[in-house]
Amino acid sequence: MSLLTNKIDADDRTVEQVLKDTAYEIDYFQREYRWGESHIEQLITDLTSAFLHEYTDGDTREQGKNYNNYYLGPLVFIERDSGRSIIDGQQRLTSLILFLIYLNHLQQEFGFQENLKPMIYSDPRGVKSFNIRVQERVHCLEQLFTHGEYEPTDSDDESTANMAARYEDIESAFPDDLRNNKLQHFLDWFRHNVILIEIVAYSEENAYTIFETMNDRGLSLTSTEMLKGYILANIHDSDSRQRENDNWRAVIQELHRWSKDEDQTFFQAWLRSQYAQTIRTAGVGTKNQDFEKIGTRFHTWVRDNPSKLNLGSNHALPGLTEFLEKDFPFFSDAYLRILNAQKKLTDGLEHVYYISHWGIASSLSYPLMLAPLTVHDDDSEINQKLNTVAHFIENFTVRRSVNYRRFAASSIRYTMYTLVREIRNLPSVKLESVLQNKLKEIGENWNGFDHFGMHGQNKRFVKFLLARITSFIENESGIATSFNTYYDVMFGKPFEIEHIWADSFEDHRTDFEQRDDFDRARNLIGGLLLIPRGTNQSLGAMRYDEKLKHYSKENLLAKSLCEIAYQNNPNFTNMCEHLNIDFRPHNVFHMEDLQLRQQLYRKIAETIWSFDARVQMAVRADATSTVV
């Protein structure tokens, strides 16, 4: 091996230095992009929180040079004749490019002209090449860069579909605090103060050795393992210590069936939900408190605060038995109950499932759901508390969304962590009252619904909303469908968003003088339905009078446009009367008809997401199904 091929370089690099005008291949053993929503949420929250910790209102861009750097981890590359390939770190690098694409769109909204494009793609000799160079991903990246959205197709690979979903997560996670003039300061900081360690090998052997070493050898003990060491070291009877160790391992193995990091997520959620008291406030120089410390090094926090866990003092932990034999198994079981309810729509825990599709970050939702629980709660009480909190979360996120307000974790963390303390150990009746009052206190109403519609960045929420509305009125009318019928592609034929009006401005000139006004009205929620893929495409260009006969064969929300839905259909008409929902047929569909449907959808949403409606639905949950 020559001296050159034996060489290994390592140096710190800014995000801009790593990405600017440099395209990377992805090595064969690093092929798929698999980051999930929680990874993106953590990345965006960590970056934006670190910046806001440095920034003070009134700072000039020049003063940003004095901000602290943020370390984002190592990247490993191999230098080949054909260029540079990523050996380790493609998840982070791909996510950074998605983030840069999003930031490039966002800065244009504010008229900023920061040149982010060289970090997104290179154009040697006039040929554009995205800086993550994988052919299967090019079309997705091009659509995201040009339009800010991408709808995956059946032919897309796992990585491409995942990239499209994670781009939506970035949009949801980015805080409102930075959607203003601070954004330019953040762009400076992100480019120049976010640091990665760049490790470059020049031989295949060295590259793979580095990859293997970083992933398989010398791994540090996790916070869970260090917490176990601290806890068990305080049990002096060897038989008792062995028994508790076996019990601990069984719980951790069960958590690891979900993911390799699930144990750490559980401990963060549990300790925050039951024991954290203090929260870091906004502002430069403020220090991490209980909630933040638990999120980073919870084993250290437990060691420093045994009295908060009712364990005793640092010198003696008499509360260990109760902690290990009551609290630990109870809350791990409750946490696993949440995970199962998120994966499968479960009676009595429906809202836990819904917020897994449209809810706040799990770093906030898990502590909230666990907070009111006590070890004395039976199964019924546990389910009721979990579902009540999840219902509040869904209420919060839906109302924020129809008012075009985001709920990035960094923007709402103080509100939600404060609420964790307010609802801790509350009984169900009191819990519901507190959450109702909290919803009023934070001022989330339905006023935005009157003008709510679909745009390029909210299609996932629009589909969620339509799926909830459609399944709700069908369930209330005795039809055995569910939210999954319309939302989840794994359950039957995929449904797509259907515009009641075809994309034909000329047919609506009596209502609109300008094309932009027509487009906005066409995208209002009252002019949208969910229709099976294929049927949706075949109806696309039809006039409304042609579509009606097809709508009569579709789901009840679509069918309700037709006269036939109201004929010899007592289940449907009784539902309308019982819930005071003013359905009516529309033989034509002009602007006034669309406005009536807009108000109809608002009424249904208000019914779905009222606490009274939830009680009514629980009573009627065993209603028999009929076909309409």
Q: Is residue 276 part of a domain?
A: yes
The two tokens of residue 515 are 């094309």
Residue entry with tokens 């303390």: 421
Res 29: pLDDT: 57
Per-residue model confidence as pLDDT tens digits over 274-324: 999 999 876 666 778 999 999 988 999 999 999 888 887 665 677 888 899
Per the CB < 8 A criterion, the answer to whether 84 and 206 are in contact is no
In this predicted structure, the answer to whether residue 619 has a pLDDT above a threshold of 50 is no
Distance of CA 255 to the CA centre of its chain: 21
| Residue 82 and residue 227 share a domain | no
Q: Is residue 626 part of a domain?
A: no
**Cα separations (Å) of 271 from 183, 266, 419?**
34, 8, 15
d(CA 283, CA 471): 45
User: Would you place residue 491 in the very low, low, confident or very high pLDDT band (cuts 50, 70, 90)?
Assistant: low
Res 626: pLDDT: 36
| Residue 476 and residue 458 share a domain | yes
The two tokens of residue 619 are 């009573």
Which residues lie below 8 Å from residue 190, measured CB to CB, with a gap of 6+? 15, 47, 51, 103
Per-residue model confidence as pLDDT tens digits over 215-266: 654 456 789 999 999 888 888 888 888 999 999 999 999 999 998 889 999 9
Closest CA to 76 of 231, 256, 168, 209: 209
In this predicted structure, the answer to whether residue 16 has a pLDDT above a threshold of 60 is yes
For the ranges 77-91, 322-336, 538-552, the maximum mean pLDDT occurs at 322-336
Res 49: pLDDT: 85
Residue entry with tokens 């075809």: 502
Res 215: pLDDT: 60
Which residues lie below 8 Å from residue 348, measured CB to CB, with a gap of 6+? 383, 384, 387, 618
d(CA 252, CA 262): 8
Per-residue model confidence as pLDDT tens digits over 142-178: 999 998 888 887 788 888 889 998 998 898 889 888 9
Which contiguous run of DSSP H or E holds residue 104?
helix 90-109
Res 282: pLDDT: 67
Q: Is residue 3 part of a domain?
A: no
Per-residue model confidence as pLDDT tens digits over 102-128: 999 999 988 898 899 999 998 776 677
| Residue 434 and residue 512 share a domain | no
| Residue 129 and residue 80 share a domain | yes
| Residue 407 and residue 504 share a domain | no
Closest CA to 457 of 182, 169, 178, 183: 169
Domain end marker among 160, 190, 216: 216
Per the CB < 8 A criterion, the answer to whether 198 and 10 are in contact is yes
d(CA 424, CA 460): 32
User: Would you place residue 624 in the very low, low, confident or very high pLDDT band (cuts 50, 70, 90)?
Assistant: very low
Residue entry with tokens 């199964």: 379
Strands 194-201 and 129-130 come out as unpaired
Question: Three-state SS for 365?
Answer: helix
| Residue 152 and residue 248 share a domain | no
Extract the runs of DSSP E, i.e. beta strands, from 418-512: 495-499
| Residue 228 and residue 266 share a domain | yes
Domain end marker among 216, 231, 264: 216
Q: Is residue 396 part of a domain?
A: yes
According to DSSP, residue 313 is labeled B
Q: Is residue 368 part of a domain?
A: yes
Res 616: pLDDT: 47
**Cα separations (Å) of 383 from 150, 578, 622?**
37, 28, 17
Res 220: pLDDT: 64
Q: Is residue 556 part of a domain?
A: yes
Per the CB < 8 A criterion, the answer to whether 60 and 189 are in contact is no
| Residue 436 and residue 331 share a domain | yes
Res 615: pLDDT: 43
Q: Is residue 1 part of a domain?
A: no
Closest CA to 97 of 157, 177, 31, 43: 43
d(CA 391, CA 536): 32
Res 551: pLDDT: 94
User: Would you place residue 28 in the very low, low, confident or very high pLDDT band (cuts 50, 70, 90)?
Assistant: low
d(CA 448, CA 436): 20
**Cα separations (Å) of 590 from 330, 426, 471, 509?**
57, 50, 26, 11
Q: Could you give the residue ranges of the DSSP H alpha helices within 148-279? A: 158-173, 182-193, 204-216, 223-233, 238-256, 262-274
The two tokens of residue 197 are 């360690």
Per the structure, how many domains does the chain have? 3
Res 421: pLDDT: 96
| Residue 463 and residue 410 share a domain | no
Give this prediction's pTM.
0.83
For the ranges 85-99, 499-513, 555-569, 611-625, the maximum mean pLDDT occurs at 555-569
According to DSSP, residue 326 is labeled I
Closest CA to 110 of 60, 57, 180: 180
Helices (H) and strands (E) in the chain, counts: 28, 9
Per the CB < 8 A criterion, the answer to whether 444 and 398 are in contact is no
d(CA 120, CA 113): 15
**Cα separations (Å) of 419 from 36, 141, 327, 424, 502?**
26, 39, 21, 8, 45
Per the structure, the complete domain to which residue 343 belongs is given by 223-441
Q: Is residue 2 part of a domain?
A: no
Domain end marker among 441, 473, 504: 441
The two tokens of residue 17 are 């230095």
Residue entry with tokens 């070291």: 233
Mean pLDDT (whole number) for 548-561: 95
In this predicted structure, the answer to whether residue 620 has a pLDDT above a threshold of 80 is no
**Cα separations (Å) of 616 from 219, 253, 445, 600?**
52, 40, 21, 20
Res 419: pLDDT: 97
User: Would you place residue 1 in the very low, low, confident or very high pLDDT band (cuts 50, 70, 90)?
Assistant: very low
| Residue 435 and residue 523 share a domain | no
Res 628: pLDDT: 34
| Residue 393 and residue 500 share a domain | no
| Residue 402 and residue 309 share a domain | yes
Average per-residue pLDDT for the chain: 88
In degrees, to the nearest 5, what angle opens at C-alpha 556 toward C-alphas 563 and 549? Answer: 45
d(CA 331, CA 460): 32
